[in-house]
Structure 1
Amino acid sequence: MIYLDYAATTPMSEESLDIFNQVSKSFFGNPNSMHDVGSRASRLLDTSRKELAALLDCPHQGIYFTSGGSESNILALSSLIDAHNGKGNHLITTISEHSSVYHFFKKMENAGFDVTYLPLDEHGQVQLDSVRKAIRKTTILASIQYGNSEIGTIHPIESIGTLLHQHQILFHCDAVQAFGKVPISLTTLKIDSLSISSHKLYGPKGVGAVYINPEVKWQAQITNTTHEMGFRPGTVNVPGIAAFVTSAIAVCNDRIKEQGRIDSLRSALMNELKQATVKSHIEGHPTDYLPHILGLRIDGMEGQYVMLEGNRYGIAISTGSACQVGKQEPSRTMKALGYSDSSAKQFIRLSFGKHTTTEDIGKTAETLRYIINKFLQSKGG
């Protein structure tokens, strides 16, 4: 099977697996326990926190470990909004956010908050002017993802953060797809809160992290919580965190070389698909994009059909974010780009990783062309 769904999840690296096993055996203590076994786990947890902070260029006191990207988003948003809701009841986000963020804001609407969903341009990018127009005196917080998980478009995060800070508006950024793919310096960027996830970086599932600027006030969601400085209840997953940070260091150290390689594979596949009988359309920004994500539409063919046929012939792709699979509604991102339901359902996503080879790209292009021709023949084309 050729795996081209790295944006959904990645296989654990051997290095990460090895660290997970070692720490599980040798640092099994609860880091909140006062005895020596707990203290050893606590020291390793503190080291992991500092190492992750170094990758993000931020103070380690602002790092909180969680169970993954979705919990990171929800806890960060809840903790910040609850601490600052005296300012007003207006929130800003985009229609194309990850489902954890999108459904959180729908919940906030039901709780009486006023939410503005920013539009996207034809490339799926938020324009700075639309953010400016959305700002009110009662705006508490804005949440805008770093890069879209379906089409890979990168938003102008630096400019947006600067604008929001000029208006004293908190800025949360879901960077789950972007971390390890683009340089992120939280000393430079005006981001108050940022979420990342281990399993997008060849680390274990069920582990993630949040950064919240130590100078920004937040409110614990469950009072008297002791773990993670009161941010999240539950015994801390020290082996998972150590494995997460190990994989994150490896990915970040290899980022420039690997993303150049991935970008070449992406371009090669795009060129191969130009030879197909039916036209394929590349979705997303032509220059501001995450190289490992390629969003496509193939004229006249539903994405689910292409995905299932691809699976039959040994190619694993998706029809969008894994968190939306199984739902009948077309992609919110595609709808935000102005497509009809039928056109939006033509969407497929291919995403590449460190095990993707030139041979995989050639075989994928060949298979997709075969699926297209087979479909045309069945329709009498």
Structure 2
Amino acid sequence: MKYFDYAATTPLDTEAAEVYVKVATEYFGNSSSLHDIGGQSAALLENCREELANLMGIDKNGLFFTSGGTEGNFLAIEALLSSTKKEGKHIIAGMAEHSSIHGILTRLKEKGYEITLLPLNENGLIDHEQLVHTIKRETILLILQHVNSEIGTIQPIDKIAKICKDNEILFHSDFVQSFGKIDIKRLAPLVSSFTFSGHKIYGPKGIGGVYVDPQLKWEPFFPGSSHERGFRPGTLNVPAIAAMTVAAQKIIAKLPEDLNRYELLRKAFIKTLEPIEEKVKIYQAADTSRQLANIIGLRISGIQGQWMMLECNRHGFAISTGSACQVGRQSPAKVAQALGLTSDEAKEFIRISFGQSTRLEDVVELGERIVNIVHAFEAAAVI
């Protein structure tokens, strides 16, 4: 099986796996315990925190470890809502946010918050003028992902952060798809909070983190929590944190090389689809600097995405119909709604995503296979 679903998850890096086993067996103490064995675990934990903070260009005092992006989004948003000094209960969010964000927004709406969702324009980006016009005196929080997980478009975090600062609005951004794929050092300090996840960067599943601006004074969502300075309850998974740190070091060291390679793979894949180009619609930013090259979101007119995914699977290619946290639901992916697709168009959506093990010949073979599947489908329809 040839894997093209790296936006959903990545295989665990070999060195990261070795570090996990070593830490789990040799630094097994609870990092909150006061004895020497606990102290060794705590020292390793803080070394990882400092290293990750350096890789991200942030103050380590604002970095907290979580079980991943979903928990991180929840805790970050709750922390920001507890810290805001501005009166109001209006929240603006992107319509195409991850399902974990929409779950939080549903809960907040039930608690009396007013929620405004912003669509994406034809380039898969938020319209700045629409954002500014949406802001009210009561607007206290903006929630907007850095990179969309289904089409790979990159929001201009710096410009949006300035709009938030000018209007005294806190800004949370989901960096799960961007950390390790884009240099975030310049952008990370501009937001009030952001989240990241280990399994998107060849680290373990079940580990991630949150950055909250240390200048903000927040209240713990879970009262009485002693871990991570009250940010969350539960004994920290130090082996997974150490493994994630190694994975982060490796992927960031390879960042320039990966960016160039993914650009080449993207161009090669799109070129192989030329025989059916009249049927293919690729959702991407017109400006390549606003597009993550390793995620390709598209639809093929007249062919349901789930059928295409199953046909590719039957021929040995693992692709996706969208975010893994959305797959299996009857409703279309949020990005389809944000782009203004009809229900039938949304059902045609598929996602191809590349990773460090993706080979050029496999990309070309996948493209050719999709072309053959479309031609076979058309021939069957005529009969």
TM-score range, shorter chain: over 0.9
Q: Is the deviation greater in 335-344 or in 270-279?
A: 270-279
Residue deviations 1:277-303 (CA, integer Å, cap 9, x gap): 762111121321111100111111000
* Mapping of residues 111-126 of structure 1, within 5 Å: 111-126=111-126
Q: Is the deviation greater in 83-92 or in 324-333?
A: 83-92
Q: Counterpart in 2 of 1:184?
A: 184
User: How large is the Cα RMSD of the aligned pairs?
Assistant: 1.3
Question: How many angstroms apart in 2 are the aligned matches of 1:79 and 1:59?
Answer: 17
Q: Counterpart in 1 of 2:233?
A: 233
Q: Counterpart in 2 of 1:362?
A: 364
Structure 2 residue 382 is the aligned partner of structure 1 residue 380: yes
Q: Match of 2:276, SS?
A: coil
Q: For residue 328 of structure 1, what is the amino acid of its counterpart? A: Q
Residue deviations 1:328-360 (CA, integer Å, cap 9, x gap): 112221122121100111100000000000111
Question: How many angstroms apart in 2 are the aligned matches of 1:113 and 1:25?
Answer: 47
Q: Is the deviation greater in 207-216 or in 184-193?
A: 184-193
* Mapping of residues 1-381 of structure 1, within 5 Å: 1-84=1-84, 87-185=87-185, 189-276=189-276, 279-286=279-286, 287=288, 288-380=290-382
Q: Match of 1:45, SS?
A: helix
Question: How many angstroms apart in 1 are the aligned matches of 2:375 and 2:117?
Answer: 40
How far the C-alpha of 1:85 sits from its partner, in A, is: 7.1
Q: For residue 31 of structure 2, what is the amino acid of its counterpart? A: P
How many pairs are equivalent? 381
Q: Is the deviation greater in 368-377 or in 78-87?
A: 78-87
How far the C-alpha of 1:187 sits from its partner, in A, is: 6.8
Question: How many angstroms apart in 2 are the aligned matches of 1:254 and 1:86?
Answer: 42
List runs of 5+ in structure 2 lacking aligned partners: none
Q: For residue 354 of structure 1, what is the amino acid of its counterpart? A: Q
List runs of 5+ in structure 1 lacking aligned partners: none
CA gap of 1:36–1:133, structure 2 versus 1, over 3 A, is same
Q: Match of 2:100, SS?
A: helix
Question: How many angstroms apart in 1 are the aligned matches of 2:220 and 2:268?
Answer: 48
Residue deviations 1:38-92 (CA, integer Å, cap 9, x gap): 0000000000000000011011111000000110001000121133276211111
CA contact (8 A) 1:119 1:130 kept: no
Q: Is the deviation greater in 274-283 or in 231-240?
A: 274-283
CA contact (8 A) 2:31 2:236 kept: yes
Q: Match of 2:92, SS?
A: strand
Question: How many angstroms apart in 1 are the aligned matches of 2:60 and 2:172?
Answer: 18
Question: How many angstroms apart in 2 are the aligned matches of 1:219 and 1:209?
Answer: 18
Q: Is the deviation greater in 101-110 or in 168-177?
A: 101-110
Question: How many angstroms apart in 1 are the aligned matches of 2:123 and 2:241?
Answer: 36
Question: How many angstroms apart in 1 are the aligned matches of 2:242 and 2:189?
Answer: 26
Q: For residue 81 of structure 2, what is the amino acid of its counterpart? A: I
CA contact (8 A) 1:128 1:156 kept: no
